[in-house]
Every structure is written in structure tokens, then in C-alpha cells.
A and B are shown apart, each in its own frame.
Chain A
Amino acid sequence: MSHQLPAIIFLLPLFAAISMPVVCLKNRHWSHPISVGTLVVMVLVSIINLYNVIHHGEIRYVFSGWSVPLGIEWVADGLASVILVLLSALALLGVVFSRTTSPKALGGRIVHYYTLVLLLISALTGIAFARDLFNLFVFLEVAAISSYALIGVAGGRALFAAFRYLVLGTLGASLYLLGVSYLYAVSGTLNMSDLAERLPLLLHSKALVGGLLFMFIGLGIKMALVPFHAWMPEAYTYAPDSVSPILASLVTKVALLAWIRIMYWVLNATIIINEIPILVMVAVLGALAAVIGATLALAQREIKMMFAYGGISHIGIILIGISQGNQTGFAGGVFYLLNDAVMQAALFFLAGVAYCQFGVRTVDDLGRIGKQAPWLIGFLVVVALGMIGLPPTGGFFGKWYIILGALEAGNYVSVAAVVVSTLLTLAYFVRLFEAIFRRGTTPMEVQVVEIPVSSKLTLGITSAAIIILGLFSAPIIQLLLDQAMPPRL
């Protein structure tokens, strides 16, 4: 039974998604409990899968029983399994959170809303497992199309943001597909491990270089890497408050996982193509993203916009970590990816509660919350500690290992970029807290606002997770070092 685990994890949300329109035809209120139930089972199966992978090694799964170069291969290795636990847990929290924050205007379309959320989650599962370049493209597209629809659901400015995302996202997907077809033309295979064997003999080919470039640019658009990030802040800001946590914490991170897969599992990342060392290039891109993203975050007035730019800068930090070419940096990068997903989810939960319960959208309005909901500020402090990277949060240990990896590689520009980005993060959170605790703001009449239990629960769990990831960073890093390393690192 255990060899079926990858497919089971993927099929759970898929089955729920496609049977949702039929099952909830008469009673639309079933859609929420069904989604929550499915995701609870998915979390459990993901944990079983992780346990199984740790103790019995990775699971190779080939669809419809075709042998490997022909069939579509999925591999549940350490990296994918760890990410899957995180993904399913955050998706569950996101869906629990959306009980009270999903747009009221949806009406009967709430069923389709949950269908899209579950479809998005199953597509992200597919991206994490896929070891076939074209299969990866299919799931990238399924994930992207569900997110376009989810962002546009709110109407108004969200429609414009969703359209912009649609145009840029489709461009990214097309470039990726173009790259895949170049690689297929050169090598005659789409399977990642098969390709990895054939590529070293083909490095002289210009089509290969072009194809790889197209693929990385396409994935760069998908994961909002800095020169291609234009779609991301607006899309996540104007998306309904109930979906932006799922989108912000998962979609870009899983696209980044696809980038890591291609960089290390297909391409031997330490090679030099046409005198261009890939690792150095990615490290520079990461450094740019880390600094520019944080600088832009400092300049934002809207809270969600600020957090979205913060996410862009963290993508850069993760890229710096994985591009050091040593195990310490890679483990640190992946650990930071886990932390960043949790922190982004927590930040957007906070922004959602701030808007839905207190009507706060901009930084200047934040002063209103201070008196009314001290515990909300408490959660914000915890998340801010994580974002800035102070012990004992996971953010600190992630950055710590990334810097250790960069020092090991003698890459001082990367170290400087991480430090500068940390200082800028500190600066924009200081700006946030300055707005909250500023004296002389006209105190609004204190009204008792009932915070839904689901919001408190999600905020509490994510804040606790930020601390717990920090406290247990040593075993998690050890797990990543043992189980999740690329083949040639």
C-alpha cells in the first residue's frame, strides 16, 4: 500500500474538488466541511508518507505502469515529502480561515470557490512530486489557472490584478513550455533523471542553453523573482482575504521548488555553461531580489502590499541559500523556505483579520487596532521576530545556515545581501510598530469586536509554528541534510 502514497496524497484533494459540484448541488454549505475533512486526511497521509520516506527510502511511482522514460514518473523523496507536510498543513489552515473571511458576495458560487482551492492544492502537490518536465508544466498551469480565478473572485480591482497575473503568468508558462520543447528536441526525453544523464554530453548545444534560459525565466515569472515580480503584490493584495494566505504562502514557494528541482536534479548546478557559472548567476539574482524586494516593502502604504514585497525579498534569500553549492547553504535555504511559507501565511492571516474585523488596510490605520486587540499585536510581534530573523524563531536559524553556507563558499556578496535585507525588514516592521504605538493618534471609540474562533485558531497555530520551527531547527536541518539533498551535492 505504501507505494501508492504519492498518488493517494494527490488524489484526495482532486477527488474532493471534482465531486464538489455534484455533491454540493443541493446543499452548498457542505462545501466547507468537505474541504476541511479532505485536508485533514491529506495532512495525516502526508505525515505517514514522510515517516515512510524517512524509514524506507524514497517512493518511485510511475503512472499507468509504463516504464520510466516513457511513463510519467513521480518521486516522493525527502524534499517533496517535507514540503508536502507543510503544504497540506498550511492549506488546511487556509481553508479553516476562509470560513469567516470568504467574500459574502459569492453566494452559490462558494461551491466553485472551494473546488478551485482544492484544485489548486492538488496541482501544487503534483508540482512537488513530478519528475517529468511536461507533467510539471501541466500542474504549473492548473495551479496558475485556479489562482487566476481565485484572485479575480472578489471583483473590482482584483479583476484587474487577476488579468495582469493571467497575462504575465501565461507568458511565464509559455516560456517554460518553449524551454521544455527545446530540451526535448535536443535530448529526446522529458524524464528528469533521464535528462540529467544525457545533458552532460549536450552542453555545447545552443538549443540547450536557450531552452534552460527560457525555463528559468518562465519559472522566475511564476515565483515572482525580482525583475519579473510585477504581477505579484497587486494580485495578493486585492485577492480575497481568505485566499491570499494560501496563495502567498504556497504558490510562489512551490514554483521555487520546481526551480530547485530543475537546477539540481536535472542540471548539475555546479557546472559552467559557456563560461557562465549557474550558481553565481542565481546567487546574484537572489541577492538582487532580497535587497530590492525589502526596499520596495519599506515604501508601501498598504499592509498586504508590504507583506507581499516582503515575500519577494524572502524568495531572494532562499535563492541565495540554495545557490551556495554546499549542503549547509542548501539545507538552510530549504529550511528558510519552510519558515517563509509559514510566516507568509501568518502575515496574510493577520492582514485578513485586520481588514475583516477592524477595517484596517493601510499602515497608518494600524493605530486603531492597538487598544482593541492587544493579542493581535502579540501575534504580529511573533511573526515580525520571524520575518526579521531573531532567535528563537525559525527565521533566525534559516538565515543563520544560509550565511554559514555563504561563508563556507566564500561568497561575501551573498552574506552582505542577507544582512542588508534583514536590516531593511527590520526597518519596515519598525515602521509598522511605530504606526501601531504612535502617540497622539485620535483614539477611536473602543468597540468590542468578536473575533471568530477560526481566525484565532489559525493565527495561534501559525505563530506557534514559527517558534516551534525555531526550537526544533536542529533536528529539521539534520533531516534535510540526511534526506533532502540533491544527488550531486
Chain B
Amino acid sequence: MIRPHDSIIVQTLGRFLIPVVQIFGLYVLFFGQYGPGGGFVGGVILGTGMILSVLIFGHDASRSQIAKKILHGDGVGMLIYAGVGGLCMIGGGEFLNYANLEIPGLETASRRSLGIVLTQIGVAVDVAVTAVSIVFSLSAEEIIEDSING
């Protein structure tokens, strides 16, 4: 069980810092197409933002709800990834061959670009969920049990 941090400095800073961290995470995620970055790093940063809010505002605060909700999404990231791959197969190509992503009105190059972005989003979601769930299971085992048992 993580209690809220009692320092006002940490609380105030956290209020400013967390949105910045999240936006930076999204930036790294989408910038991965053109330079250093990508799904894994972006996911780690997104996960860090959520962990930060849990550490600063405590486990029960309304700001931590998203981190608790996201725990159910273990498979969602993988599902996005495999779903994009499956769409490529339906389009007639190999698994993850983005050129066969059947989206009308897009050239091959844009299809490839879109495909990579989608799979990277999947990767990011999974990495973020994993990071958050590691912190939760280290801090309080019974909470995870409860949230899984509904």
C-alpha cells in the first residue's frame, strides 16, 4: 500500500511534472519513426509518469485511478500488435507486412508508416502496463489480487 507523499514541494512539483512526462512519452513514442525513440522507450516513460503519480499522490488518489485501471490491459498492447499483423495477413501479405494493410486512399509508403506507428503504440501500452504492474506487485500484493478478482 502506497500512501501519499507528505511533502508539499513533491506534491506541487508532481502536479506540474507528471503531464510533462506523459507528453514527452508520447513525443518519444511517435518520434520513433524519424529518430531515436519508439514503442519501448515511449512506453517506459508513459509508465514512469503513472508510477510517479502513484508514488506522490498515493494508491487511492483519483490521479492514480488510471494506473489501477490500466492493470487490466495486460493483453491489449499485444492485441493491437498482433491485430495489425493479422490485418496485414487478411490483406494478403505476410504477418506484419504493412504494405498489405488494406486502408483505402493511402499509398504504400503511408501504409508502412501507419503500420509501424500502430504496432509501436501496442508495444508502448504493453511496456507501460508491465512497468506499472511491477510497481504494484512490489508494493502491495493483495491489491493486485483484489483488482484481478474484481
Q: Mark A residues whose CB is within 8 Å of B.
A: 4, 7-8, 11, 14-15, 17-22, 25-26, 61-65, 107-109, 112, 115
Contacts and interface: CB of A to CB of B under 8 A. Distances in A.
B82 A21 contact: no
Contact of A64 (B76, B95, B145, B149): B95
A15 B82 contact: yes
Contact of B74 (A21, A61, A62, A64): A21
B60 interface: no
Contacts of A8: 89
Contact of B94 (A21, A65, A109, A115): A65
B1 to A, nearest CB: 20
Interface residues of B, number: 22
Interface string B79-103: 1001001100100011111110000
Given A18-B78, A18-B79, A63-B96, 5 more contacts: A8-B89, A22-B76, A61-B94, A64-B98, A65-B94
11 contacts: A4-B89, A4-B94, A18-B79, A63-B97, A64-B96, A64-B98, A65-B93, A65-B94, A108-B148, A108-B149, A108-B150
A18 B95 contact: no
Contacts of B85: 11
B19 interface: no
Nearest to B93: A65
B72 interface: yes
A445 B95 CA distance: 60
- Among B72, B73, B148, the one with the most A-chain Cβ atoms within 10 Å of its Cβ is B148
B78 to A, nearest CB: 4
B148 A109 contact: yes
Q: Which of B95, B98, B149, B150 has the most CB of A within 10 A?
A: B95
A18 B72 contact: no
A213 B75 CA distance: 37
B99 to A, nearest CB: 7
Contact of B82 (A14, A20, A65, A107): A14
B74 A11 contact: no
Contact of A22 (B79, B86, B99): B79
B97 A65 contact: yes
Contacts of A17: 75
Nearest to B85: A11
Contacts, number: 56
A8 B94 CA distance: 10
B86 A15 contact: yes
Label chain A's interface by main secondary structure: helix
Contacts of A61: 94
Contact of A11 (B75, B86, B93, B148): B86
Interface in B92-150: 93-99, 145, 148-150
Nearest to B94: A65
Contacts of B98: 64
B94 A64 contact: yes
Contacts of A109: 148
A14 B89 CA distance: 15
A64 B72 contact: no
Nearest to B100: A65
A131 to B, nearest CB: 14
A11 B82 contact: yes
Contact of A65 (B79, B86, B99, B149): B99
A362 B51 CA distance: 49
Contact of A21 (B75, B93, B149): B75
B90 to A, nearest CB: 10
Nearest to B71: A21
Given A7-B89, A108-B150, A109-B148, A18 B82 contact: yes
A23 to B, nearest CB: 9
A64 B148 CA distance: 35
B149 A107 contact: yes
Contacts of B149: 107-108
Contacts of B79: 15, 18-19, 22
A4 B98 CA distance: 15
Nearest to A20: B75
A4 B95 CA distance: 8
A22 B148 contact: no
Residue from A14, A18, A25, A109 with most neighbouring chain B CB atoms (10 Å): A18
A11 B95 contact: yes
Contacts of A64: 94-98
Q: Which 8 A-B pairs have the closest CB atoms?
A: A65-B97, A18-B75, A108-B149, A18-B78, A64-B96, A7-B95, A21-B74, A21-B75
B131 to A, nearest CB: 17
A63 B94 contact: yes
A107 B93 CA distance: 41
Nearest to B149: A108
